[in-house]
Amino acid sequence: MSRYSRSSSSRPFYRVKIINGIQPSLTSENTTSTTTPTTTTTTSSSSSTTAINNTELDEIENPRLLNILNWSPLENLVTNKTTLAINDENETKSKNGYNAVQISIELQKKMLNLKAMFIDPSGRLVNYGRLRASNVYNDICEMGNRLTTISLENVTENEHLYNILTIHGITSVNELPKSVLDLNQFWKITSYKVGSYFYSLDDIEHGILRGNKPHSNCTQRHFTFNDPRTRYSMRRCDPRIHFALNCGARSCPQIAIYSSTNLEKALNMATTSYCNAEVDIILENAEVRLSKLFLWYKNDFGRSETEVLRWIAKYIDEPKQSLLKTLLDRQGSKDGLRISYKIYDWMVNHHDAPMPIIDSTTTSSNVDD
């Protein structure tokens, strides 16, 4: 998602103490500007608080302050301007391949549990408070810890990784904000360690899933050419990926379940669902109203606004499809056709409505439908 029209300039240089990868003070603009990380933290797999002596901490000069939700002991940490990576050139692949497949399946199951127990019928709203108090949250933390033992190339559904990291990051804050924009640099710093490398939400979205394309507010590729994480980038950007990712805002696409066997069908369904809901055709005014996703990431959908509209036409149902084609054919091009963009609702996608009580141990694991 694109959130950086409101971003400040480049991030300042921080001297950071990271304790098991958790930065509990990084929950809002206010706390980050006034609070210094302390020697007390809550680990990602337990709600207990542990006091740690300063001698047990590794102090890091880190130009990118990360809130790493699943990182255990610090080892030989190497930092540069674009990446934090364990100094391990021989990242295990085949040895941990089986574990990675298992974790991919586990990611699907966790999404099924989340969807059944904490996500409303629209697929867009999450009961974060109920999730925080549940065993499912502890399970997510445990699964996050296991991500450190695998290679990202063996994780088959990175959409789940992004969506679970988003939910994990929002659920972990001490006080739920009204807007996801109130979480300081949320998409830049909220991170998992997978194998030897760290991946923020932005890293997963732009560096991996969009094929290392530039963010909407810049012209440079997300990962630099020598960033070792580029080996995991998609070869090309599939525009439908935008409708599989939920960044925690109310205007985001719904949260769905993906697997290697249903990926094409599920991506088409997610794209069609979002386009039908967020594309409005006003024939008498020759106007098309779109989600701002089509503004922020226009180049992912086409080289011109006309190409974007023709791409959209493939994923909207009747009568909208015929209306849009009529407008495009009548004009012969986009000239004379007005495109406007809807206000994006950045309020946190939280809901308090009661959800059905479902035993998470018996939730169906069939994700191929």
SS3 assignment for 47-75? CCEEECCHHHCEEEEECCCCEECCCCCCC
Q: How is residue 118 written in tokens? A: 């904490």
Cα–Cα distance measured from residue 54 to residue 38, given in angstroms and rounded to the nearest whole number: 9
- What is d(CA 216, CA 188) in angstroms, rounded to the nearest whole number? 14
Q: Which residues are registered as beta bridge partners of 338?
A: 287
What is the pTM (predicted TM-score) of this model?
0.75
**Domain ranges (residues) in the chain:** 82-248
pLDDT per residue of the chain (369 residues) written in tens, 0 to 9:
555 443 333 333 222 222 223 443 333 333 333 333 333 333 333 333 333 333 333 332 343 456 776 654 333 333 333 334 434 444 444 344 446 778 888 888 889 999 999 999 999 999 999 999 999 999 999 888 888 888 887 676 788 899 999 999 999 999 999 999 999 899 999 999 998 899 999 999 999 999 999 988 888 999 998 999 999 999 999 999 999 999 999 999 999 988 878 889 999 999 999 999 999 999 888 999 999 999 999 999 999 999 999 999 999 999 999 999 989 887 655 557 899 999 999 999 999 877 555 444 434 434 444
Separation between Cα atoms, residue 341 and residue 288, nearest integer Å: 8
Count other C-beta atoms under 10 Å from residue 217's C-beta.
11
